[in-house]
Amino acid sequence: MSAPEPSDEALLARYRGGEGPAFEILYARHRQGLYRFLLGLSGKTELAEEVYQETWLSLIRSTSQPQGRANFRTWLYQIARNRLIDHWRKHGIHHPLHDSYDEQAHALFDEATDPELLLSLSRDSQRLETALQNLPADQREVFLLRTHGDLDLPQIATLTATPLETVKSRLRYAQQKLRRLLAEEVLT
């Protein structure tokens, strides 16, 4: 019977206590998800890499720990999100996560989609990426946190400082739109 894998928080504590290999395990667990979250949210490889690097270096050099009810995963994605927003502000780029979005209008449109189209979702990576970038930024963020961050809805609500019901509706609309966009691509 093998021992249970150490939690992220335990690995971080071990690294902070001087155990270097603990960080390698922690990094391996989150490298892909965090990178894909940043790539999907920023839409640019160079920017995603820059923020990704800054996030990990910040974590390495910081002595702080996840506070309150936040676990390591939420904390890591919070750092990355803040870094990306800082980058946008620093370069005078309009903060896309602050865009208002008429979710009701999208809901009416999405409800007309045929559920059978689920069977023929495109697997083409370019089409997946394009469909993702067609989402409003706040919906895309929730979808990416759910998909690549593997965060549950209350965690996403806490991280984005958004009411839980809003998070739920954003995720639902994002999924409906993606399903429609990917299915349409296949049909044409």
- Of 36-44, 80-88, 100-108, 133-141, the window that binds another protein (rule: CB under 8 A) is 36-44
Which 86-105 residues touch another protein, going by CB under 8 A? none
Question: Closer to another protein at the Cβ: 71 or 104?
Answer: 71
b/e burial code for range 139-167 (CB count within 10 A of at least 16 → b):
bbbbbbbbbbbebebebbbbbbebeeeeb
Residue 51 touching another protein (CB under 8 A): no
Report if residue 187 touches another protein, rule: CB under 8 A: no
Q: Among 6, 27, 70, 87, indicate the residue that binds another protein (CB under 8 A).
A: 27
Min CB(115)–another protein separation in Å: 6
Q: Minimum CB separation from another protein for residue 106, in Å?
A: 14
Dihedral-angle region of residue 48 (phi above 0 means left; psi in -120 to 50 means alpha; beta otherwise): alpha
CA atoms lying within 13 Å on the CB side of residue 6: 14
Closest CB 10 distance from another protein, rounded Å: 16
Task: Report the distance separating Cα 31 and Cα 14, nearest Å.
Answer: 19
With CB under 8 A as the contact rule, the residue among 5, 99, 152, 184 that binds another protein is 152
Q: Does 128 bind another protein (CB under 8 A)?
A: yes
Residues 144, 36: contact at Cβ < 8 Å? yes
